[in-house]
């Protein structure tokens, strides 16, 4: 006779361990850590030559919060931050939390088209940014994005201007109350349901994901985390900063943006014990001609995530970079972000073949993509998850939220995986066609809709193809309007300055028609197969990943 217990064991359902959840805001947590470790390093921004202890970072957060109050920012208001990695990012991250404001992360790669969309959708009241850097003139891009629009944006504060210094000296006050259930962060992601949506993450989401991640890394206040990944992503501002604030581990920012030499130099000189990166970052670091000259023996752990992780690459990082406790994680912005993680104490076999087990206080099922029923252990299904980490929802988009989180609270990730009998998850693909290029999520529809604005383009279809360095790259198939002619360079040039560099198609193929079903549905998998064959990428496509 089959019992309920037997049936449960054979179905693809797992739950992480039960551990206490913190009922703290980010500001509360920062206060607690500053009291425990006031003189220990909180953050070192090497490219700026600036360092804060925990006591100093807490004091700076209060200064920012008071300055925001003086600007008229109140609990629940949205504040945008459009910047690469810097110490001001941490100040605003913590200061907005203290002020009860929702920090809106704006990707520094955004150009006028995307920035205009974000400004309009987010309803931010203030935006913080640098005037320019070697990549872009942000002041000029902002003016183009604002042209002719009526926005709720009341304040633009340049971090390299007297206005920023004045804000830090303003005599505002701190809010009387901020709740753990308040929205702390809004991140725009192409996600699983179309054009970019504002994912609303609460203090409760972020604080606790950081807590459980830190436990998986076995972090203490003695650790130093080298953080070359962008802060505007969850990889930086949750897996990076919130593990640190939970434990007192220090953060080291090697550069404004990723630089392989700066990263290894930071590990070498700061004696970092942990380093983060997407696979492409580790490839670049290992490929440096002078790699052997850096002393990386202080490293103990770290994370490789954000894109499929080649098994052989992970083995090299474990041995050549001394990251014996390197872990893999899986998640998405909508889950704050991590839902599965291998543990630093797991065997190498588990860490190279799977993305680990369910995080504490997290449920995971594999479901049939048609029926929604839980599939047996060992059978591929869509990964759905439920728990404290699920987003509050998509900002002002209840229908899109309902499509992603069902009536029983299960968040449908759109990713495919297999649950093994030991509770470990192996990713097998994506049921939707999101492209992940070097850790950046790209939704094809967004790029397609932009390409349609080109006067010569009649139809565009976008797919991702495998790339040895970045995981995937973007390819566009374009059918021109009758009588029109165009070149690949012309289409790519049209994209430059309008959409983020990582969304610009690496290749453009001009076609007369697209592979389609009898009902007219485009068969993107056939496009991808064609490109792999034409470009001789069979070997790259067949690389084993965790």
Model pLDDT for residues 213-230, shown as the tens digit of each residue? 999 999 999 999 999 999
391 pLDDT above the threshold of 80 = yes
Bigger pLDDT: 321 vs 283: 321
192 pLDDT above the threshold of 60 = no
Q: Regarding the domain delimited by 26-419, which CATH topology (the fold level of the hierarchy) does it fall under?
A: Rossmann fold (3.40.50)
CATH 3.40.50.12780 positions along the chain are 26-419
Mean residue pLDDT of the chain comes to 92
Q: What is the average per-residue pLDDT within 441-461?
A: 88
295 pLDDT above the threshold of 70 = yes
Find the angle CA(87)-CA(90)-CA(91) to the nearest 5 degrees: 90
Q: pLDDT digits over 393-433, tens only? A: 999 999 999 999 999 999 999 998 999 999 999 988 766 67
Mean pLDDT lowest for which of 172-176, 279-283, 288-292, 510-514? 279-283
- Positive or negative CA dihedral for 452, 456, 460, 462? negative
Predicted pLDDT of residue 234 = 94
Q: Which one, of 432, 514, 521, lies nearest residue 476 by Cα?
A: 514
Q: What is the average per-residue pLDDT within 309-319?
A: 84
- The band of 283, judged by pLDDT with boundaries at 50, 70 and 90, is confident
Q: Regarding the domain delimited by 436-541, which CATH topology (the fold level of the hierarchy) does it fall under?
A: GMP Synthetase; Chain A, domain 3 (3.30.300)
Q: What is the average per-residue pLDDT within 328-350?
A: 91
- The band of 188, judged by pLDDT with boundaries at 50, 70 and 90, is very high
Contact (CB, 8 A) for 27 and 98: yes
Predicted pLDDT of residue 519 = 52
Q: Which one, of 203, 281, 207, lies nearest residue 244 by Cα?
A: 207
Q: What does the alpha-carbon distance between residue 27 and residue 477 come to, in Å, rounded to a whole number?
A: 48
Mean pLDDT lowest for which of 37-41, 94-98, 285-289, 302-306? 302-306
Q: What does the alpha-carbon distance between residue 187 and residue 205 come to, in Å, rounded to a whole number?
A: 13
Quick count: other Cβ atoms within 10 Å of Cβ 242? 24
Bigger pLDDT: 540 vs 497: 497
State the DSSP string of 432-469: S--EEETTEEE-HHHHHHHHTTSTTEEEEEEEEEEETT
Among residues of the chain, what percentage have pLDDT more than 70? 95
Q: What does the alpha-carbon distance between residue 192 and residue 332 come to, in Å, rounded to a whole number?
A: 10
Q: pLDDT digits over 13-39, tens only? A: 999 999 999 999 999 999 999 999 999
7 pLDDT above the threshold of 70 = no
User: For residue 220, with 0-12 CB atoms within 10 Å meaning exposed, 13-18 middle and 19 or more buried, which class applies?
Assistant: exposed
CATH 3.30.300.30 positions along the chain are 436-541
Q: pLDDT digits over 515-546, tens only? A: 976 556 688 889 999 999 999 999 888 776 65
Predicted pLDDT of residue 2 = 36
Quick count: other Cβ atoms within 10 Å of Cβ 173? 10
């Amino acid at each position: 006779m089959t019992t309920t217990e037997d049936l449960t064991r054979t179905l693809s359902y797992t739950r992480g361990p039960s551990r206490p959840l913190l009922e703290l805001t980010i500001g509360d947590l920062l206060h607690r850590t500053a009291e425990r470790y006031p003189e220990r390093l909180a953050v070192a921004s090497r490219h700026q030559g600036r360092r804060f202890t925990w006591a100093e970072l807490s004091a700076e957060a209060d200064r920012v919060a008071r300055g925001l109050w003086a600007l008229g920012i109140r609990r629940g208001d949205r504040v945008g931050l459009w910047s690469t990695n810097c110490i001001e990012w941490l100040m605003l991250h913590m200061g907005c939390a203290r002020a009860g404001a929702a920090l809106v992360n704006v990707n520094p790669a955004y150009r006028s088209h995307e920035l205009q969309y974000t400004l309009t959708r987010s309803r931010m009241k203030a935006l913080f940014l640098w005037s320019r850097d070697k990549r872009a003139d942000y002041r000029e891009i902002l003016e183009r994005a604002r042209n002719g629009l009526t926005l709720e944006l009341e304040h633009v504060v340049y971090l390299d201007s007297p206005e920023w210094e004045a804000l830090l000296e303003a005599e505002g006050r701190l809010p009387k109350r901020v709740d753990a259930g308040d929205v702390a962060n809004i991140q725009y992601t192409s996600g699983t349901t179309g054009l970019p949506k504002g994912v609303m993450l609460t203090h409760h989401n972020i604080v606790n994901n950081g807590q459980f991640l830190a436990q998986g890394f076995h972090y203490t206040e003695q650790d130093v985390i080298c953080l070359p990944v962008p802060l505007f992503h969850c990889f930086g501002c949750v897996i990076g900063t919130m593990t640190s604030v939970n434990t007192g581990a220090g953060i080291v920012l090697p550069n404004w943006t990723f630089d392989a030499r700066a990263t290894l130099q930071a590990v070498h000189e700061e004696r970092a014990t942990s380093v983060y990166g997407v696979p492409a970052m580790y490839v670049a670091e290992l490929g440096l001609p002078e790699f052997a000259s850096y002393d990386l023996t202080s490293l103990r752990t770290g994370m490789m995530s954000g894109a499929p992780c080649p098994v052989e690459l992970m083995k090299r990082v474990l041995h050549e970079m001394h990251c014996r406790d390197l872990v893999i994680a899986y998640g998405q912005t909508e889950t704050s972000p991590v839902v599965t993680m291998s543990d630093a104490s797991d065997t190498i076999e588990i860490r190279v073949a799977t993305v680990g087990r369910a995080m504490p206080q997290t449920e995971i099922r594999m479901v049939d993509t048609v029926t929604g029923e839980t599939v047996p252990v060992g059978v591929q299904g869509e990964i759905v998850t439920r728990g404290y980490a699920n987003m509050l929802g998509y900002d002002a988009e209840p229908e899109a939220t309902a499509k992603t989180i069902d009536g029983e609270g299960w968040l449908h990730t759109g990713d495919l995986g297999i649950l093994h009998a030991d509770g470990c998850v192996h990713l097998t693909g994506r049921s939707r066609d999101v492209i992940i290029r070097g850790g950046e999520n790209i939704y094809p529809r967004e790029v397609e809709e932009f390409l349609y604005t080109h006067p010569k383009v009649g139809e565009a279809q976008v797919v991702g193809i495998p790339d040895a360095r970045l995981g995937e790259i973007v390819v566009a198939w374009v059918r021109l309007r009758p009588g029109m002619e165009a070149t690949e360079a012309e289409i790519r040039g049209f994209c430059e300055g309008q959409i983020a560099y990582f969304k610009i198609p690496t290749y453009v193929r001009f076609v007369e028609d697209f592979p389609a079903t009898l009902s007219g549905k485009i068969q993107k998998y056939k496009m991808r197969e064609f490109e792999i064959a034409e470009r001789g990428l069979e070997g790259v496509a067949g690389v084993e990943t965790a």
